[in-house]
Chains A and B, each alone.
Chain A
Amino acid sequence: MGRPITVTVNGEKTSAEVEPRLLLVHFIRERLRLTGTHIGCDTTHCGACTVLFDGVPVKSCTMLAVQADGRQLTTVEALHAGGALHPIQAAFKEEHGLQCGFCTPGMMMSSFALLAENPDPTEEEIRWALSGNICRCTGYMNIVKAVRAAAVQMKEAAAVPAGAATGS
């Protein structure tokens, strides 16, 4: 039995009919075909499925799609809107903030929410903010470095007058 929902996903309004038991992560991956959001544990432990729900990081394997009716969702695909890598993505690449990449979408969404709120976080604050995201590969050192680097990049970009911020 479908239930109609309308969700704004990465800035675009989408309507669908969903079964109440459909998990948000399945809606995102299978209905919207946005497969950047990963399913790691499926038991609310790993954070690979992290998306922003009205700007706040949530584990999309632990919410229902119907709960997103009328809300804003931001998935990792929003980061490269416009084709260029977001400074967070560029920094993860540059600083080797990933190996297998499975945790990376979740890591980046938690980082994105952190930097939106605290543009100049300390290492400690980064570790705290990312403590719900588990990585089996990197040992976290380079992830923390990447978030610091992204913060610096984003601050510099913000300091450049609008219009001059693009380019290579």
Chain B
Amino acid sequence: MLPAPFEYHAPHTTEETLELLDQLGDEGKVLAGGQSLIPLLKLRFASPAHLVDVNRVPGLDVIEERDGVLRIGALFRHKAAERSTMLASRYPVIAEAAGQVADPIVRNRGTVGGSLAHADPAGDWGSVMLALDAEFVLQSKSGRRSVKARDFFSGPFSTALQPNELLTEIRIPAAQGRTGGAYLKLERKVGDFATVAVAVHLQMDDGKVRSAGIGLTAVGAQNLKAEQAEAALRGRPLDDAAINEAAELAAAAAEPKADQRGSEAYKRNVVRVFTQRGLRRARERARGGA
């Protein structure tokens, strides 16, 4: 399968990239890991006139925790997330999700930013970022703005990104106190998208929940943030009653659709059970962790 013809640009700096995106407008598309875009080009579901390959722009793949913020560059690859010992110890929800995205070969190329920009409602990173209360830095020739994860997704494959904007980095409030997290994913086989997945990020303080983040994958038109479940946990000891209540609220927040992977009721139940398990696992990790 051959993509429709396009012009190829390989800028070497962010400025050059933004200049190109500005000139090209609707005609241009960013090429990151290519693991969603190239299949779409081959199927001719997308046929942009210009591709702007950002793989040669240095610095877009940073990871750095400083001044209370974890910065993840848009070009940070799934594999790098899977391998980072810092993420495994401080942000287990990121590390645990990373190893479950696609398959190991796709993970070598695919990027966290590309995945967020693609905004597949069954994609894993959106839920992780919702749980972490992340914000995304969107840059264009005329300036930069920050958009909260919860305001970024606007439907299947739709986001706040404008055609002339580049997602440059993801900013996450640094983990504080006793932190735990988990990513539970039900998939039919390795490399499959989620039937249902749940992301949990937990910060404990003195035996009580300081904050809880819960993101839901593949049970709505976009990745969902279970805000009522999160709110129900705040300030409470994480006992069975609290966990069960949050799990019910998360299940109620889900908007699953029946398909070949399962019925609506089944998926909703998986959300409930995974929220329970995820909170327990996150609690264990918070106890063991720093």
Contact = CB atoms under 8 A, between A and B. Distances in A.
Interface of A: 3, 19-21, 23, 26, 42-45, 47, 50, 56-59, 62-64, 66-67, 69, 110, 128-129, 131-133
B40 to A, nearest CB: 10
5 contacts: A23-B2, A64-B38, A67-B34, A129-B104, A132-B102
A48 B39 CA distance: 16
A108 B55 CA distance: 27
Interface string B16-48: 000000000000000000110011011000000
Contacts of B68: none
B51 interface: yes
Nearest to A127: B190
Contact of A63 (B103, B109, B191): B109
Contacts of A128: 104
Interface string B90-113: 000000000000111110110000
Chain A to chain B: the 10 pairs with minimum beta-carbon distance, closest first: A132-B103, A20-B8, A132-B105, A131-B190, A21-B3, A132-B104, A62-B38, A56-B108, A57-B105, A44-B39
Interface of B: 1-8, 10, 34-35, 38-39, 41-42, 51, 53, 55, 102-106, 108-109, 190-191
A162 B126 CA distance: 51
Contacts of B42: 23, 42-43
Nearest to A44: B39
A131 B189 CA distance: 10
B8 A132 contact: no
A3 B8 contact: yes
Given A20-B7, A62-B34, A43 B39 contact: yes
Contact of A62 (B4, B7, B39, B104): B39
Contacts of B109: 58-59, 62-63
A110 to B, nearest CB: 7
A119 to B, nearest CB: 18
Contacts of B41: 21
Contacts of B2: 21, 23, 26
B104 A57 contact: yes
B271 to A, nearest CB: 26
The CB with the most chain B CB atoms within 10 A, among A42, A59, A128, is that of A59
A133 B8 contact: no
A75 to B, nearest CB: 15
A120 B8 CA distance: 42
A131 B104 contact: yes
Nearest to B39: A44
Given A59-B105, A131-B104, A66 B190 contact: no
Contacts of B106: 44, 59, 62, 132
A126 to B, nearest CB: 11
A58 B105 CA distance: 5
Given A20-B8, A58-B109, A131-B191, A63 B38 contact: yes
B51 A20 contact: yes
Contacts of A69: 10
Contacts of B53: 64, 66-67
B115 to A, nearest CB: 14
A23 B8 CA distance: 13
A74 to B, nearest CB: 14
A63 B34 contact: yes
Contacts of A21: 2-6, 41
B81 to A, nearest CB: 15
B10 to A, nearest CB: 7
Contacts of B51: 20
Contacts of B108: 56-58
The CB with the most chain B CB atoms within 10 A, among A44, A63, A129, is that of A44
A19 B5 contact: yes
Nearest to A19: B5
